[in-house]
A and B are shown apart, each in its own frame.
Chain A
Amino acid sequence: MDILLAIILGTLFGYVLQRIGAADPDKIIGMLRLTDLHLMKVILAGIGISSALLFAGLLAGIFETVHFDIKAMYWGVIIGGLMLGFGWAIGGYCPGTGVAAAGSGRVDGLFFILGGLVGAGLYTVTYRYIEDTWVLQQVFGGKTTLVTTGHASAIINLDWSPILAITLGLLMLLIAKVLPSKEG
């Protein structure tokens, strides 16, 4: 059952990444250069809509939170984020979009994956040197969410907090709408 879900959801995700332009280095670099914000609009809308519906669903009790899971906050999140941003801007791919691009027939996507395997391998063999250092020390409460989901400690844990999350989601959708669009 899990494997069937993996096949369906993986294929759907790759298909959507390709059709929104996320697997196209020109669209990614265009977004990062702030010259073509189409992809930025899609991503903001995607996060905003999913977040608003997620918390609306929670509020209405439509679904369970059993599969909710967030990542802990530690210094490495920021250092790693800065590094990823650099590689993302020169290579034009992040892990998911690189895989979709390679599948779509882009040779540079294949080279991105090869590089990614080298990078992941380097981290795997050097992990023992950093595992007990400050880099992986949790900060800001570790697994913390802004709004309560029942699965992590929340900064705002009040009856109306799902409304706040829905509002934030709609705000992201609004920003997506007002950002300038470029056709093509």
Chain B
Amino acid sequence: MYWHWLKGGCLLAGCFLLAIIFIKPIGVSTQFVILGGVAASFVDDNLVARDQTAKSGYRSSNAYLNKSGGKYAKSVAEPLNYGFVFVIFIALGGLIGRLTQNANPGKGSGPGIKQVPDCHLQQFGDNPWGRYLLAFCGGVIVLLGARLAGGCTSGHMMSGIMQTAVSGYLFALSAFAVAIPTAIIVYRK
């Protein structure tokens, strides 16, 4: 159903190489901040504003969006930028990937998709809302951690280790050190 590991590894490597050669290393988690900022800026008109004295040309009343010369403030004000559009189109790629993939016969609903994954089914039963709740909570913690770390699996682990970044190695070690025992305990069945 999924690609052979070597084929998958080559194509994954291709993505990261193309990105770093032509534009910038792949990263995803920053764009969760930007999307949240875009939503918040509808409610709070003063969240981001033009400021010629700022390095990016924008400032924010929020300390995080205002950091590094208003880098994030600018992305919130002008979301049609490379990083944001890149992440939006990951979703389209996911859809194309699924539609072109051979369905796993006799399993689940839709072509090769089970709305409640087997690991969840065996541990917590078939109520989809239990799965959605865990995914939601996981999302909260993952993004809190990713923002504190300054990057996620893509930015730190893949893009970082590819360039032999010290932060990338230590991030990967920390993430797996917790993720492996947690998964073993939570999904033990």
Give residues in A with beta carbon < 8 Å to B.
2-3, 5-7, 9-21, 23-27, 29-30, 32-34, 38, 41-51, 53-54, 57, 63, 67-74, 76-109, 111-125, 127-128, 131, 135, 140-141, 143-147, 149, 151-152, 155, 165, 168, 173, 176-177, 181, 184
Q: Is the CB of B13 within 8 A of A49?
A: yes
> Which partner residue on chain B sits nearest A97 by CB separation?
B153
Chain B 35-82 residues near chain A, CB threshold 8 A = 35-37, 39-40, 62-65, 67, 80-82
Contact partners of B150 in chain A: CB under 8 A: 71-72, 74, 76-77, 80
Contact partners of B177 in chain A: CB under 8 A: 82, 85
Can you list 29 A-B contacts with CB-CB less than 8 angstroms, sorted by A residue number? A5-B23, A6-B84, A12-B18, A15-B96, A18-B101, A19-B8, A21-B3, A42-B12, A46-B16, A48-B13, A50-B12, A53-B13, A54-B20, A80-B149, A87-B145, A88-B138, A90-B134, A91-B136, A92-B135, A103-B93, A108-B132, A111-B139, A113-B32, A115-B142, A119-B32, A119-B147, A120-B29, A143-B167, A176-B6
B127 at the interface (CB under 8 A from A): no
Contact partners of A89 in chain B: CB under 8 A: 138, 178-180, 182-183, 186
Contact partners of A81 in chain B: CB under 8 A: 145, 149, 156, 170-175, 178
CB-CB under 8 A for A91 and B20, given A46-B12, A127-B63, A135-B148? no
Give A151 to B65 CA distance when docked, in angstroms: 25
> Which partner residue on chain B sits nearest A147 by CB separation?
B164
Judged by DSSP, the binding face of A is helix
Give A119 to B32 CA distance when docked, in angstroms: 9
CB-CB under 8 A for A91 and B170, given A17-B93, A33-B184, A79-B149? no
Q: Is the CB of B136 within 8 A of A124?
A: no
Q: Is the CB of A9 within 8 A of B94?
A: no
**B: interface residue count bin:** 35 or more
Closest 3 CB pairs of A and B: A91-B138, A14-B93, A45-B9
Q: Is the CB of B147 within 8 A of A123?
A: yes
Q: Is the CB of A127 within 8 A of B64?
A: yes
> Which partner residue on chain A sits nearest B185 by CB separation?
A89
Q: Is the CB of B134 within 8 A of A29?
A: no
Q: Which of A63, A114, A145 contacts B166 (CB 8 A)?
A: A145
Q: Report the minimum CB–CB distance from B61 to chain A (whole Å).
A: 11
Contact partners of A5 in chain B: CB under 8 A: 22-23, 82
Additional A-B contacts beyond A23-B94, A82-B145, A119-B144 (5; CB < 8 A): A45-B12, A46-B13, A54-B17, A87-B142, A165-B164
Contact partners of B159 in chain A: CB under 8 A: 70
Contact partners of A42 in chain B: CB under 8 A: 3, 5, 8-9, 12
Q: Report the minimum CB–CB distance from A156 to chain B (whole Å).
A: 9
Contact partners of A78 in chain B: CB under 8 A: 149, 170-171, 174
Q: Report the minimum CB–CB distance from B123 to chain A (whole Å).
A: 10
